[in-house]
Structure 1
Amino acid sequence: MTTRALVASPTPPAQIAAEELRATYDWVPIDQADEIVALGGDGFMLQTLHAMLETRRMVPVFGMNLGTVGFLMNDWRLERLDDRLAKARPFRVSPLSMTATTVDGETFLLPAINEVSLLRETRQTAKLEVTVNDRIVLPELVCDGILVATPAGSTAYNLSAQGPILPLGSALLALTPISPFRPRRWRGAILPEKTRIGIRVLEADKRPVSAVADQREVREVASVEVEIDHNRDLTLLFDPEHALDDRITMEQFIA
């Protein structure tokens, strides 16, 4: 028998829904569960997935939207949860691994499910050197920043920065500049997911840059390396009629 744990955002709608689910179905603690049901929005789903990355206990997660956008979530319904979970489609999500080294020589290793972004910290534009598989492809990118997005994250910050939407399962990464000034005509790249991306901050003392892995920030970085981490793949569960790959595809037709 499949055992399930319930987690919920602290918001009132999610807490009310959690009480209804606890009164209707059987639940076990997270460390005993074969699946997790998460109630909230996309932010809470990312929080739930990051908690699994930290404990290295990867079990499928079925989210129900009690937030705003709910791109990574299914519709909220109390009824027929067992039937929905039995029919749910699994989708693998491979997180990024960010290795950030600061100007003081400290090193931070952080995962990111949506994107890794580098952003200028002051009014000074950032100057970045970009490498792909140790080959310099942009000797100097003058910009507000740059980001690396997974297919699951390509409709988030990446899309707002005019980056491409990547189909789930495409085995691709989006490398997208944020407000680029020079080179003027460079608008980013689509790269195979096996690519190792390196970013070195030029004039780091004068033009400080922070690196953010989803929501975790490292200030005053000197260099950042980003690559896919297949050793910690995650699984999201979706209703057949409301699958993530279909949602990503349809985002391309929203004006």
Structure 2
Amino acid sequence: MNQHVDARTNLQTEKLAFVSSDTDEAIAAREALSRHYGSVEAEDADVIVALGGDGLMLQTLHRFMGTGKPIYGMNRGSVGFLMNEFREEDLRARLKAADVTTIHPLIMEAVDLDGTQHMARAINEVSLLRQTSQAARLKVSVDGRVRLEELVCDGILVATPAGSTAYNLSAHGPILPISSPLLALTPISAFRPRRWRGALLPDHARVDIDILDSDKRPVSASADHREIRNVVRVSVREESSLDGLIMFDPDHGWDERILTEMFRY
């Protein structure tokens, strides 16, 4: 991923834009912060402050990917792994002290049964899942070389370090440090070969997945929250030319969160 963390002491924080999920708690927080600090339109902001849960953070990162605008989240949702603790006071001081992590999304290119080509980006992962009760049959290639002639499974996913603690972790994939130049290739309920537990790939690798018997064993592909049904081939790679910026308080940054997850039991 070639992700890195910078302490942006010269970050401008005068002009703030506040976005929120549609819950009462998040809306109330947005209104209170806007009154306290003032609010500008997102295109004019120095920093985007996102109020909600991880779902809102992903939506906000997608929306402002490539704009150079850093996103600072405060938890007004349920999970909040990507969010900082909510406090109304001292927001500008927290923004000045925050660490900024640069992330690069995955790009998914998929072809469906009709031959239609689709493209979508993912910050967490690209996942393929069977659509019926029958297991999927997949052929997996990395950088043009076939690595698995047949993987019989419920699905497979390619996760970024940012997404390694999400669906990837639930599928027993590895947790990746945020600065690691790696991608996780993780099977979901693999039946054959049973002993294959996935692979760690360099972040410049291209993963091609061909769906075998796609007419009888249909498979869907999802890039974060966008789903493509009845795919026959999916290619995944990092889009290294596109940056997203996410901010964390220095006393509870992303590296610390990931280390905490590694030692949970």
Aligned to 2:33: 21
Aligned to 1:111: 121
TM-fit CA distance, 1:58: 3.5
Aligned to 1:199: 209
Aligned to 2:143: 133
Amino acid at match of 2:35: A
Amino acid at match of 1:209: V
CA distance in 2, matches of 1:125, 1:200: 14
The answer on 1:12 being equivalent to 2:43 is no
Matches within 5 A, 1:240-255: 240-255=250-265
TM-fit CA distance, 1:231: 1.7
Aligned to 2:163: 153
Aligned to 2:223: 213
TM-fit CA distance, 1:57: 2.3
CA distance in 1, matches of 2:61, 2:96: 21
**Secondary structure in 2 matching 1:205:** coil
Amino acid at match of 1:34: D
The answer on 1:185 being equivalent to 2:195 is yes
**Secondary structure in 2 matching 1:232:** coil
Structure 1: 5+ residue stretches without partners: none
Structure 2: 5+ residue stretches without partners: 1-11
TM-fit CA distance, 1:131: 0.3
Matches within 5 A, 1:44-59: 44-53=56-65, 56-59=66-69
TM-fit CA distance, 1:34: 1.9
TM-fit CA distance, 1:9: 0.8
Residues 5, 29 of structure 1: 8 Å contact kept: yes
Q: Per-residue displacement from partner, 1:5-60 (whole Å, max 9, x unpaired)?
A: 1111110110111111011102210011121000000001011112224xx42310
**Secondary structure in 1 matching 2:241:** helix
CA distance in 2, matches of 1:230, 1:63: 23
CA distance in 2, matches of 1:121, 1:65: 34
CA distance in 1, matches of 2:68, 2:141: 32
The answer on 1:102 being equivalent to 2:105 is no
CA distance in 2, matches of 1:57, 1:235: 9
Taking every aligned residue pair, what percent have the same amino acid on both sides?
56
TM-fit CA distance, 1:92: 1.1
**Secondary structure in 2 matching 1:226:** strand
Residues 58, 232 of structure 1: 8 Å contact kept: no
**Secondary structure in 2 matching 1:204:** coil
Amino acid at match of 1:225: S
Amino acid at match of 1:59: K
Residues 60, 235 of structure 1: 8 Å contact kept: yes
Larger CA deviation: 14-23 vs 217-226: 14-23
Aligned to 1:225: 235
CA distance in 1, matches of 2:55, 2:138: 29
Amino acid at match of 1:115: E
Amino acid at match of 1:142: V
Amino acid at match of 1:203: D
Aligned to 2:8: none
Amino acid at match of 1:22: S
CA distance in 2, matches of 1:48, 1:182: 38
RMSD, matched Cα:
0.9
TM-fit CA distance, 1:238: 0.5
CA distance in 1, matches of 2:138, 2:81: 32
Aligned length: 253
CA distance in 1, matches of 2:28, 2:38: 17
Amino acid at match of 2:236: V
